[in-house]
């Protein structure tokens, strides 16, 4: 698919996810579930549940699921473009999501992934990219600001993680010049 430079100048490769990547996708996602604060899932997902999530992205040429390999070829992040809403009138809007392995953070992989996803959204003709981010997730909020997203909504106490309520912030980025 494409090679990008992360901010530490290490070559990374972003490519379509394959069945062989499901374990890494599941492991990275479950790190986020266990840590809390970046997904509303409260219980780690099984390999089959993550397979169903990947398979729900169809057609894949419109809704890609991709992985990021570091210079050593290890999958250290994944991301996707997902349908924003099932009603056809929303087809110009896409939701992006990404997760980075907890041992590979702060190396520019999230930035590389979001850049790839935004390029992919533009090349597919989407008008708007959206992201839903917990308001306490300062890293992801900083990344949205870096790419020029604007917060367009805020839902206080949207999720209860078993010990506390978390606020949700909604972000958007126009992808086409009007």
- Give residue-wise pLDDT tens across range 133-155: 999 999 999 999 999 999 999 99
Contact of 60 with 47, CB cutoff 8 Å: no
Residue 5's pLDDT band, with cuts at 50, 70 and 90, is very low
Mean pLDDT in residue range 17-36: 95
- For 44-66, the pLDDT digits (tens) are 999 999 999 999 999 999 999 99
* CATH annotation of 2-129: 3.40.630.30
- Please give the C-alpha separations between residue 49 and each of 8, 62, 100, 160, 171, in angstroms, as whole numbers: 34, 21, 19, 22, 27
pLDDT over 80 at 172, yes or no: yes
Residues in the chain: 178
Task: Please indicate, yes or no, whether the overall pTM of this predicted structure exceeds 0.75.
Answer: yes
pLDDT of residue 176: 86
């Amino acid at each position: 698919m494409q090679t990008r430079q992360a901010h530490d100048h290490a070559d990374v490769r972003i490519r379509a996810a394959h069945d062989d990547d499901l374990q890494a996708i599941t492991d990275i996602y479950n790190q986020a579930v266990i840590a809390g604060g970046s997904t509303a899932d409260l219980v780690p997902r099984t390999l089959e549940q993550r397979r169903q999530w990947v398979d729900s992205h169809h057609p894949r040429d419109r809704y890609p699921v991709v992985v990021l390999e570091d210079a050593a070829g290890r999958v250290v992040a994944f991301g996707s473009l997902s349908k924003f809403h099932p009603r056809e009138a929303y087809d110009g809007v896409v939701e992006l999501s990404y997760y980075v392995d907890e041992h590979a953070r702060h190396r520019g992989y999230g930035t590389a992934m979001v850049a790839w996803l935004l390029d992919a959204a533009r090349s597919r003709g989407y008008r708007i990219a959206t992201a839903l981010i917990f308001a306490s997730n300062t890293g992801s909020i900083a990344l949205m600001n870096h790419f020029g997203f604007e917060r367009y909504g805020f839902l206080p106490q949207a999720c209860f993680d078993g010990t506390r309520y978390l606020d949700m912030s909604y972000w958007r980025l126009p992808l086409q010049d009007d």
